[in-house]
Amino acid sequence: MKINTAEFVVSNSEVSKCPQERLPEYAFIGRSNVGKSSLINMLTNHKSLAKTSGRPGKTQLINHFKINNNWFLVDLPGYGYARVSKKTKEVFQQFITDYFEKREQLVCAFVLIDIRLEAQAIDLEFITYLGEIEVPFCIIFTKADKISKTKTDSHVAAYRKKLLANNWEEMPPYFVTSSTEGTGKEKLLSYIDEINTE
């Protein structure tokens, strides 16, 4: 898929105020600083559609971007650093869980994971939560340019192992990306395109 138009539509913190238009929706979420804004800008060929920042936790709203007048890309707030003792509901703000539990247009969530790091408890909790509420999701490994191809493969394998140890039957669809090098862009957009045309 080629992205011809990407326009900002609305930012808000209430699911009821999200666009009424019934276009398929794809949500991007991950820990603060994982590279979400950079990835969104890379996918949409924009320098600053999503606001990048070295400062964690900056985007605290649900941001809707309309792509090719055909689907919504949804930029969700980055979640915090590992606070393992808290339950998902307490760690993730109510409006984020509301979004996942109530937004009927949501087709797939993309959970961003920094390829360099070992599996983080908060990400695993979030993935488990998505499984519990039966939201389809994919994993996007980010910042692949920061490690070698061999390390990338072993980190992906380790992640798969971790998920299987956490009672997942299989690794969900995943993508390895680098926003600085454009890695993974075509595959990811083709995946969305395929679902949209099913």
- Residues near ligand GDP (CB under 6 A): 32-38, 52-54, 78, 142-143, 145-146, 178-180
| Shortest distance (Å) from residue 46 CB to ligand GDP | 12
Rounded CA-CA distance 21/125 in Å is: 31
| Shortest distance (Å) from residue 16 CB to ligand GDP | 25
| Shortest distance (Å) from residue 37 CB to ligand GDP | 3
Is the CB of 4 or the CB of 53 nearer to ligand GDP? 53
Rounded CA-CA distance 165/41 in Å is: 34
| Shortest distance (Å) from residue 179 CB to ligand GDP | 4
For residue 154, count other CB atoms closer than 10 A to its CB.
12
Is the CB of 51 or the CB of 102 nearer to ligand GDP? 51
Is the CB of 71 or the CB of 78 nearer to ligand GDP? 78
8 Å CB contact between 49 and 40: yes
Alpha-carbon distances of 138 from 9, 14, 29, 95, 121, rounded to whole Å: 24, 24, 11, 21, 17
8 Å CB contact between 171 and 113: no
Q: Which residues pair with 11 in a beta bridge?
A: 63
Is the CB of 66 or the CB of 143 nearer to ligand GDP? 143
